[in-house]
Amino acid sequence: MKLTLQQLEAHLWGAANILRGKTAGQDYKNYILSLMFYKRLCDQWEWEADDAIAEQERQQGRPFTEEQKAIFRKRGEHRYDIPDGSRWGDVKAVSVKIGETLTDAMRAVADANDELRGVFTVDWNQPAPDGSGTPLIANEVVHALVQHFDEHDLSNRSVPADVLGRAYEYLIKKFADDAGAKAGEFFTPPEVVDTLVRILEPHPGDTVYDPTGGSGGMLVHTADYLREHGHRPTHARYFAQEMNWGNAAIGKINSVLHDLEADIRAGHSTITDPQFLEGGEVRRFSLVLANFPFSDDYWWLKPEQRTDDKKKKAKLKKEVFVKEGYKDRFGRFGRDSGFPAPPANYGDYAFILHILASLSDNGRAGIVCPQGVLFRGQPKTEVEIGGLDANGNPKVRRRKADDEHLIRRALLESRLIDAVISLPLNIFYGAGVPACLLILRKHRPEDRRGQVLLIYAARHYRELSAQNELRPQDVMRMLVHYHSYGDASKVSRLVEEHRERIHREIDLREADEVGRLEAEYPKGKELGAKVAERDERIAETHRKAEADRADVSKVGEELVALYAHPDELLKHARVVDMEEIGENEFNLNVPRYVDTFEPEPRMEVDEALRTLANAEKKAKRAEATLLSLLRDVGYAVNK
């Protein structure tokens, strides 16, 4: 029987509930995701063998004996090799030390397949920290998980690859919601990734690179975009580097489930030890997508130097760092690169310059950044301090330009910055600082080379209890502004294209949510009194989807009207030339150029006078009440 997406999601999240609270911190996500993937590999191996045997029996016109089947299963061709003794049935047959058996089986599978090296990073037999020698995860818990996963076959026989991939992404999102602030280390909200991908428009032949890969969402969304436009995901190639081994494992599994065969390398800092090199320089790619750690104040340290004790020692060395500058052996910044080294306390431009060095001659990049990169750093200044020097000239105090100012100016003067989009507050897990999207292009149309598009998208979002969320219509606003690049003649077509696409996405989301609700509630007589509750939740899902479709259409109409009134458009987006940016000392803070002022609601004079009169009456009544109370308690009040 085929599993629906919603049944699979419920099944996988049920496994997470078994393990929650029984590992260190949020590590349980790595256990569940790796166990799911291991079960998938084993089930797929069995299905491939069964399918091949059935085909041979059909061709030969006779059934195989069990002995013949066993021989054929060993000789058959498989996408991945699952060694004898390391299959799901071998783990399920064990009743004691299941964690040890499971860990050994996973490691054997990884060792047998080069593509899977580094995927299984968890140790199911890890000892508890009390020194007792007992496993951190009790044998009965591992047994319960194995039994839970054994309920469903996860091969293509029961779960198509696209369904499993979507369920895996759902699970990552659920883990991110559960992890809260710490989720920012491995998860970027899909609406942000989708915006970047659609701005950069991946195409066949692209080499796609994420220097801080996390759970692989940037690569997967790129592949989804290619599928949407009628291409196979394998028509592009995918690369990523991720310092955290656990996050890299999640990303590797994600890429395998989406049939990307991505080259993901882990355990090293992209800044101190980039892993993709050619001829001693960083390898270059046609498309780079990134959400790097914001304002990392130890960006110049290797992972093994980032212990608390070594960080304290590193602080003492910062004076030397600032005085002598960081010497980058890959030529991305510093001497001979055209860019100064970023300051020791902010690593943002270290990542941006690494991304720039990683771009091919026609490359483009979409980067999530803190808004500080747009304006931090001061230009060179001279201030008169009074008096005259020996030559009779006024005495001045000269201040050198800050490195971040010089880097930003060099990027602008090199015509590399194509657009900046300021985002709403609090849409990223654990990052309360204002963020933006920075779009770089090595090869820009001639008519855009002397310009930068600035989009103010910070006022459009859905407010949730824990954080804010970009809605479909908010993404549409940004995409229409970007792809029109100030050209009003393109807007109607762009609006219609995005409206139709987003309506289809809302339809799919609505169907998924209804399916989840139907899977959540019991069937038959057991449903009982919960029928009304389920039906109301389903009805609310339909109402929300209909409201979203209406909002998307309404925003589309607003965008068309907006581009017919240039003065109104200046409150949302503006194409600015380099001369004006230079006059603003290369400061790219969007409100300097886009009118973000929100006017007070207009009030008629008569209404204002009535409001004032009512306020005065209330004040007099309050004063009279206070005086009366004071007299009652014996105070002499002169009035």
Q: What is the pLDDT of residues 186-229, one digit of tens each?
A: 788 999 999 999 999 999 999 999 999 999 999 999 999 999 99
* Token pair of 501 as six digits: 């696409």
In a domain, 222, yes or no: yes
b (16+ CB within 10 A) / e for 507-536: eeebebbbbbbebebeeeeeeeeeeeeeee
Contacts of 125 (CB under 8 A, 6+ apart): 97, 99, 100, 102, 103, 135
Pairing of strands 451-456, 417-422: parallel
Q: 3-class DSSP state for residue 543?
A: helix
Same domain, yes or no: 213 and 103:
no
In a domain, 556, yes or no: yes
Q: Which amino acid would we find at residue 319?
A: E
Same domain, yes or no: 289 and 405:
yes
Q: Over 50: is that where the pLDDT of 88 sits?
A: yes
Based on the structure, what is the number of domains in the chain? 4
Rounded CA-CA distance 636/630 in Å is 8
Same domain, yes or no: 393 and 466:
yes
Q: Over 80: is that where the pLDDT of 524 sits?
A: no
Q: Over 70: is that where the pLDDT of 314 sits?
A: no
pLDDT more than 90, % of the chain: 54
pLDDT for 440 equals 98
Find the domain containing 532 and state its range.
513-572
- Backbone dihedral angles phi then psi of residue 157, each to the nearest 5 degrees: -60, -35
CATH code for the domain of 468? 3.40.50.150
Mean pLDDT, rounded, for 117-146: 88
In a domain, 304, yes or no: yes
Contact between residue 365 and residue 440 where contact means Cβ atoms under 8 Å apart: yes
- Backbone dihedral angles phi then psi of residue 333, each to the nearest 5 degrees: -155, 165
Q: What is the pLDDT of residues 561-617, one digit of tens each?
A: 999 998 999 999 999 999 999 999 999 999 999 987 665 555 566 776 777 778 888
Rounded CA-CA distance 6/170 in Å is 10
Q: Kind and range of the H or E element at 208?
A: strand 207-210
In a domain, 389, yes or no: yes
Rounded CA-CA distance 70/205 in Å is 42
pTM of the predicted protein model? 0.86
Q: Over 70: is that where the pLDDT of 431 sits?
A: no
In a domain, 237, yes or no: yes
Q: How confident is the model at residue 639 (pLDDT cuts 50, 70, 90)?
A: low
Same domain, yes or no: 92 and 194:
no
Same domain, yes or no: 243 and 363:
yes
Q: Over 50: is that where the pLDDT of 323 sits?
A: no
Mean pLDDT of the chain: 88
Same domain, yes or no: 234 and 366:
yes
Among the candidates 486, 504, 528, a domain finishes at 486
Same domain, yes or no: 299 and 431:
yes
Q: What is the pLDDT of residues 280-301, one digit of tens each?
A: 899 999 999 999 999 888 888 8
Contact between residue 370 and residue 292 where contact means Cβ atoms under 8 Å apart: no
Rounded CA-CA distance 554/353 in Å is 40
Read off the DSSP letter of residue 608.
H
Q: Over 90: is that where the pLDDT of 322 sits?
A: no
In a domain, 497, yes or no: no
Q: What is the pLDDT of residues 144-162, one digit of tens each?
A: 999 999 999 999 989 988 8
Q: How far is CA 170 from CA 9, 290, 334, 505, in A?
A: 7, 21, 42, 16
Among the candidates 555, 572, 589, a domain finishes at 572
Rounded CA-CA distance 113/443 in Å is 40
Rounded CA-CA distance 38/83 in Å is 13
Same domain, yes or no: 99 and 141:
yes
In a domain, 507, yes or no: no
Same domain, yes or no: 426 and 464:
yes
CATH code for the domain of 38? 1.20.1260.30
Same domain, yes or no: 140 and 236:
no
Q: Which carries the bigger pLDDT value, residue 312 or residue 113?
A: 113
- Backbone dihedral angles phi then psi of residue 537, each to the nearest 5 degrees: -65, -40
Q: Which amino acid would we find at residue 21?
A: G
Same domain, yes or no: 473 and 556:
no
Among the candidates 89, 123, 158, a domain finishes at 158
In a domain, 498, yes or no: no
Same domain, yes or no: 190 and 50:
no
Q: Which carries the bigger pLDDT value, residue 128 or residue 42?
A: 42
Mean pLDDT, rounded, for 317-323: 56
Q: Over 70: is that where the pLDDT of 637 sits?
A: no
Q: Which carries the bigger pLDDT value, residue 133 or residue 250?
A: 250
